[in-house]
Structure 1
Amino acid sequence: MNIDLHGIIPPIVTPLKNENEIDEQGLKQLIEHIVAGGVHGIFLLGTTGEATSLSYQVRKEFIEKACLIINNRVPVVVGITDTSVRGSLEMAAVAKKSGADALVISTPYYLPMSQQEFVNYLNYLTPKLPLPFLLYNMPGCTKMHMSVETVKAAYQLGAIGIKDSSGDMGYLYALQEAFKNNPDFSVICGTELFLPESVTFGGKGAVPGGANIFPKIFVNLYEAAVNNDLNKISKLREIVIQIEKKIYNIGKDNSKYIKSIKCALSVIGICDDFVAQPFERFEKKECDLLRTNLHELIETYPEIKAEFNTLKTT
């Protein structure tokens, strides 16, 4: 199966009403919002999607409902990382049945794993997968930073790409150099500010959580990088810096990134801001600050204001 993984592939949040119920209307509005923004794909059940906090049943329902709404308009990749091989394979089967295009695999979390142990794990897991797969390098959550040699081994097993969220620019460049002669392998960055440099030196795109809220901003930044439009890159990079400062950095807990995206989506009327346990949504003080900051961004930057012309902020 040939899948052209490139451009902006948002790791969408999982809109929830409570621990066991998906916010279906919110999910539909979110998908329509980001598809209208021109994204090139959608990533379900990533870190931003709170995958590890959701029950298997909620994950399955989310995959099914999201794929039905997306309806093949853009490629869909589904995270199946789990501490249990059986759990991963269950999610893979649901993804295949629901019409997803590829799977995303990271290192099983909790117990630290060596590079060779991960390669052994892939040797066991990948022949059982019903869809193509790409890697997800997230050492901050999994305790293992995939070496370039490990990624090469995964490529030999059929990996079609990697999302790198290590935040290590040197490593990202090393990946791009290693696979520069392999057009069938996509190196995609997870760090939003790395997008222009990544694309300039051979990367295929980005998986930015901020594209849940501002899809057109990130699509435009990607296109500016492809076209080497330095003036536009500079202007849009400044907006992305301000988004990080004004939206992502509210609150003091490590979970603030997910909370802030969900809160912003609730402010613009997309979906509920419920956050799955063991975390909780922002308190009123934090939400009020985010609302103020979001309105300030909208009024300061015409590019953001244009994105929200059809949305009602609260």
Structure 2
Amino acid sequence: MTLPAPLAGVVPPVCTPLTPDREVDVPSLIRLVDHLVAGGVHGLFVLGSSSEAAYLTDRHRKLVVDTVVAHVAGQLPVLAGAIDMTTPRVLDHVRYVTEAGADAVVVTAPFYTGTHPAEIDRHFRLIASRSPAPVFAYDLPQSVHSKLGAELVLELAADGVLAGLKDSSGDAGGFRAVVMGARTRPAVSGFSVLTGSELVVDTALAMGADGAVPGLGNVDPEGYVRLYRLCREGDWEGARAEQERLCALFEMVRVGDPGRMGGSSSALGAFKAALRLRGVIDCSVTAEPQVPLSPDEVERVGKYLAGAGLL
């Protein structure tokens, strides 16, 4: 399908359900997509952080994008992560996700090796020149150890290299600079600015952002769609109340014991446990080497769901 310019609304980063032996659980993935579509979301982002893309083999990544694109069948735009360390490896991912029919690709800065801003600029230009689909930048400095500066993003947007930005940097000032530039610079017209923070969607939309890519949107897509609608209607009191309900629900990501697991195990384990408790997926296992939640921790996830009116 033709990607809207700018892409706007709620575009959840789709979790990747796995079987107990860590294969992609295709029936559960299809049910999850149906759950998100029924929740009213405006697009889907596969093979991002919440999809556990960093943990998946190339075979698993390809199966995910093939499954989702085929099942959605043009109902919604599908963005696919083409996330890897260097430009040639990213281009390999771009090839198979676009062959599958992804409507856009999402790309981080290069990582593992130290990268100069000029090399980051060259990375995005090379990818865009060879990608048949629009390219979205993914600003994720905590994982790739490079920050995408606002001026670099806006220059790439003005040159037609980038169609949008998913900002998960936590840098509110830099995010505002991109939003302002997208609104005020004629050459950047149609550029989509999306926040990746579940906790400040109302604030981002008030700044002028186009939408959000919330991992928690897997669990409660209706809530984020409602929040987006309230903001667009100018009901800021209603939006604040809905955002605060979602903030309380987001506390589920902290159920894991930090003495025995990292934040990814806790957060992704909680999202998957919540989806299983809601009857969307069959198994809440996460990819290796992430540590599974204990039964007590899963029980706490259920309490958060009940408190949010989701059980």
* TM-score strictly above 0.5: yes
Amino acid at match of 1:89: L
Give the match for residue 254 of structure 1: 263
Tell me by how many angstroms 1:19 deviates: 5.7
What residue is the counterpart of 2:246 in the other structure?
Answer: 240
> 210-219 or 196-205, which moves further after superposition?
196-205
8 Å CA contact 1:20–1:58 kept in 2: the answer is no
Residue 271 (structure 2) pairs with residue 268 (structure 1): no
Q: Does 1:201 align with 2:204?
A: no
Candidates 177, 182, 201, aligned match of 1:179:
182
Q: How many residues are paired up? A: 299
CA distance in 1, matches of 2:85, 2:21: 21
Structure-2 separation of matches of 1:43 and 1:212 = 11
For the residue of structure 2 that corresponds to 1:48, the secondary structure is coil
Any stretches of 5+ residues in structure 2 without a counterpart? none
The alpha-carbon deviation at position 123 of structure 1 amounts to 2.8
- 1:235 Cα shift? 1.6
- Paired with 1:20 and 1:87, the residues of 2 have a C-alpha distance of 24
Residues of 2 paired with 1:50 and 1:286: CA distance? 20
Partners in 2 of 1:90 and 1:150 — Cα distance?
24
Q: Name the amino acid aligned to 1:268.
A: R
Q: Give the deviation of 1:76 after TM superposition.
A: 0.5
Which residue identity does 1:161 align to in structure 2?
Answer: G
Check conservation: 1:263, 1:281, Cα contact below 8 A: no
Following superposition, the deviation at residue 2 of structure 1 comes to 4.7
Amino acid at match of 2:175: L
> Are 2:34 and 1:25 aligned?
no
SS at match of 1:126: helix
- Confirm or deny that 1:170 pairs with 2:173: yes
Percent identical residues: 28
Alpha-carbon distance in 1 for matches of 2:21, 2:94: 22
1:134-161, CA deviations, whole angstroms, 9 ceiling, x for partnerless residues?
Answer: 1000111110111012102321142111
- Where does residue 161 of structure 2 map in the other structure? 158
Q: Distance in 1 between matches of 2:15 and 2:111?
A: 20
Q: Distance in 2 between matches of 1:250 and 1:191?
A: 19
Q: Does 1:122 align with 2:128?
A: no
Question: Gaps spanning 5+ residues in structure 1: where?
Answer: 299-303, 305-312
**For the residues of structure 1 that align with 2:21 and 2:160, how far apart are their CA atoms?**
37
Please give the TM-score of this superposition, normalised by the length of structure 2.
0.91
Instruction: State the 1:229 CA deviation.
Output: 0.2
CA distance in 2, matches of 1:234, 1:149: 31
Cα displacement string for residues 32-63 of structure 1 (whole angstroms, at most 9, x for unaligned residues): 10100000000000010010111001100111
**Which of 277, 288, 310 lines up with 2:299 in the alignment?**
288
1:190 aligns with 2:196: yes
Partner of 1:310: none
The list of structure 1 runs, each at least 4 consecutive aligned residues, that deviate by more than 4 angstroms after superposition, is: none
- Give TM-score scaled by structure 1 length: 0.90
SS where residue 16 of structure 1 aligns?
coil
* Residues 114-138 of structure 1: per-residue CA shift (max 9 Å, x gap): 2222012223322111211110001
AA in 2 matched with 1:90: D
More displaced stretch, 68-77 vs 87-96: 87-96
Aligned 8 A contact 2:179 2:208 in 1 = yes
Cα distance change on mapping 1:187 and 1:19 into 2, 3 Å: farther
Pairing 1:220–2:221 present: no
SS of the aligned residue for 1:17 comes to: coil
Cα deviation digits, residues 162-202 of structure 1 (max 9, x gap) = 01011121111111111113331011111122211222222
SS at structure 1 position matched to 2:68: helix
Match of 1:53 among 55, 59, 65: 55
Superposition CA RMSD, Å: 1.6
